[in-house]
Amino acid sequence: MTKKDVVRLLEKIATYMELKGENAFKVSAYRKAAQSLEVDERALEEIDDVTTLKNIGKGVGEVIETYRQTGASPTLETLQKEVPEGLVPLLKIQGLGSKKIAKLYETLNITDKTSLQAACEAGKVSELKGFAKKTEQNILEAVKAMGAKKEAYPIDTMRRLNRVIQEHLTTIPEIERFEVAGSFRRMKEMSKDLDYIISTREPVQVQQALLKLPHKQKEVAVGQTKVSLEVDYDDETIGVDFRLIEPEAFYHTLQHFTGSKEHNIRIRQLAKARQEKVSEYGIEQPDGKLLQFNSEAEIYHHFNVAWIAPSMREDGSEFDKNLSDIITLKDIRGDIHMHTTASDGAMTLQEMVEANIQKGYEFMCITDHSKSLRVANGLSIERLLKQNEEIKALNKQYSEIDIYSGTEMDILPDGTLDYDDEILAQLDYVIAAIHQSFNQSEAEIMKRLETACRNPYVRHIAHPTGRIIGRRDGYQPNLERLIQMCEETHTVLEINANPKRLDLKASILRAHPNIKLAINTDAHHTNHLEFMKYGVATAQKGFVKKSQVINAMTRDEFKTFISQKKR
């Protein structure tokens, strides 16, 4: 359990209280307590008595202590029983906060999306104070979209659902091996469904176990070779297909259903040139014999093709490129964008250091948020310089890794930077980022980015478009001009590996094969260091070479790189 877990609990209790229509002062008490914990730089285990913190009284303190000791909260559980379950998903509707939902519940007995849709269609919502006719129409459209099966879902949603499904598959003893396939295995930004290849000699038993899948909503098709279900996950209806195959054909089926269609066409063309036929069962020889291999690598080797990572199996052009220098996960030697409890991270500085050592990294940069980003508990100048000294002292304690001090500094709406140069000069590594005023014109956005690029201490630009996949497009920079500026000023652009972002995207990387890049997780928890694979996959889709990526440098090369002034 981390401090973030407790903060989330307190905020959740406050939300449920608001939905229930509780006294505003009680709601505020939980929100203020969450804020007090958020801004305290200590880890949870370092806080012996939470009631010594500002705005945490005895009552809230007891709630926190119970949660710390048991991992459960009777207070939240009671609220969840008292508040209709169907109200919580309504919080996802833009413009409908917990106060407005509580009003709908109290006055119109709205308890879920069905009753809300009926009330909107009857015009009852717009009769309430604070709900205009246009608001009612927007709510109605949002409610109709909730739960409807979409064309595709963001990779982060699919990542979390995949984890749930894999946990279920590991409980089925008749499964010899399984692997996710399809567009999610290719780590596409959006996927329409999840596909699994399952190796088994007892398909009927596996089939029956699959029907007990968590979140199952509907059985679409159930057979001995394929089971298709729909699941209700994260208020979305998502399709999941399972293909049951005999073990000998497993890797052929996996390769076939990983795709893409264009990639498989090229495989079939290679086979045809040898008078062979390719299917999900194996490679049929001219004499009718069926070849079946024990790995995907052997399949590609059979056609005299070097292994092609799933992330690059997109449009067929991957067969025509030299992929030997393309960045791989094992090439990454450090992560240079991450956060600690000093700003909005869940783990302490030392915990992040030890987690990076566990990853086998040779160097790392601590880059907590800057002072203007108050929502993320950004560091004042005094706190930043104090952390800088702590990092330098900690660096002397660890021989396994070089620890660099830095910041993820805000590029402010007026085009200035959040810290003066005299402060930046004391840090090892400075990242600049836009976190606010996304609706500015392209000219205003570019002015802000140019200020950062031309600053002598700013080494790289984080998440260069600010997008969140499937949720927001971000701001609108002129990427051609930004890339040119970065080349002129020797500023690095980031591939943010957080699966919510994947920013820059692969199409930009393909169009600009010589950009200098950093692939970073933007980790706010030690677990987030695992996101690196998504950033590397995005780079692979863009055919990014190892030589382009600064955190693929050796320990000494990186030390030299940042010890030299930005040219």
CB distance 37 to 53 below 8 Å = yes
Q: From 241, 186, 179, 180, select the one nearest 213 (Cα to Cα).
A: 241
What is the residue range of 410's domain? Answer: 329-563
Query: Which residue reads 């590594």 in tokens?
Result: 429
CB distance 447 to 438 below 8 Å = no
* Tokens describing residue 18: 């608001």
Same domain, 401 and 362: yes
Spatial separation of the C-alpha atoms in residues 126 and 145, rounded to whole Å: 20
Same domain, 336 and 480: yes
Same domain, 131 and 164: no
CB distance 229 to 216 below 8 Å = yes
Same domain, 8 and 131: yes
Q: What is the pLDDT of residue 144?
A: 87
Same domain, 55 and 98: yes
Strands 236-245 and 226-233: antiparallel
CB distance 155 to 190 below 8 Å = yes
CB distance 336 to 376 below 8 Å = no
CATH code of 165's domain: 3.30.460.10
Spatial separation of the C-alpha atoms in residues 243 and 252, rounded to whole Å: 12
Q: What is the pLDDT of residue 111?
A: 93
Q: What is the pLDDT of residue 95?
A: 81
Q: From 270, 295, 261, select the one nearest 188 (Cα to Cα).
A: 261
Please state the separation of Cα 391 from the chain's center in Å.
Answer: 27
CB distance 172 to 209 below 8 Å = yes
CATH code of 87's domain: 1.10.150.110
CATH code of 271's domain: 3.30.210.10
Q: How confident is the chain (567 residues) per 10-residue block, as mean pLDDT?
A: 91 92 91 90 88 92 94 94 90 87 93 93 92 92 82 96 98 98 98 98 97 96 96 91 98 98 97 96 96 97 96 96 96 98 94 97 98 93 97 96 98 97 98 96 97 97 96 93 97 98 96 96 97 98 98 98 87
Nearest 10 degrees: Cα torsion 516, 521, 526, 528 = -150
Spatial separation of the C-alpha atoms in residues 493 and 449, rounded to whole Å: 11
Backbone torsion region of residue 221, taken as left when φ is above 0, otherwise alpha when ψ lies between -120 and 50, otherwise beta? beta
- Give the domain-ending residue among 191, 221, 245: 245
Strand order through the sheet with 429-433: 334-335, 363-366, 402-410, 429-433, 458-461, 492-496, 517-520
Spatial separation of the C-alpha atoms in residues 206 and 169, rounded to whole Å: 9
Backbone torsion region of residue 482, taken as left when φ is above 0, otherwise alpha when ψ lies between -120 and 50, otherwise beta? alpha
Q: How many CA atoms lie within 13 A of 48 on its CB side?
A: 0
Query: Which residue reads 């705005």 in tokens?
Result: 55
CATH code of 531's domain: 3.20.20.140
* Tokens describing residue 143: 């409610």
Q: What is the pLDDT of residue 361?
A: 98
Q: From 210, 212, 250, select the one nearest 227 (Cα to Cα).
A: 210
Spatial separation of the C-alpha atoms in residues 184 and 175, rounded to whole Å: 21
Same domain, 311 and 361: no
Same domain, 225 and 256: no
Same domain, 415 and 553: yes
Same domain, 164 and 68: no
Same domain, 199 and 119: no
Question: CA gyration radius for the chain?
Answer: 26
Query: Which residue reads 């950062």 in tokens?
Result: 452
Total tally of structural domains belonging to the chain: 4
Q: What is the pLDDT of residue 38?
A: 87
Residue 151, class by beta-carbon neighbours within 10 Å (0-12 exposed, 13-18 middle, 19+ buried)? exposed
Same domain, 390 and 434: yes
- Give the domain-ending residue among 145, 176, 193: 145
Q: Phi/psi of residue 298, each to 5°? A: -65, -35
- Give the domain-ending residue among 295, 320, 345: 320
Same domain, 442 and 556: yes
Task: Kindly report the number of other CB atoms within 10 A of residue 450's CB atom.
Answer: 16
Give every CB contact of residue 490 below 8 A, 6+ residues apart in sequence. 516, 566, 567
Q: How many CA atoms lie within 13 A of 328 on its CB side?
A: 9
Residue 461, helix vs strand vs coil? strand
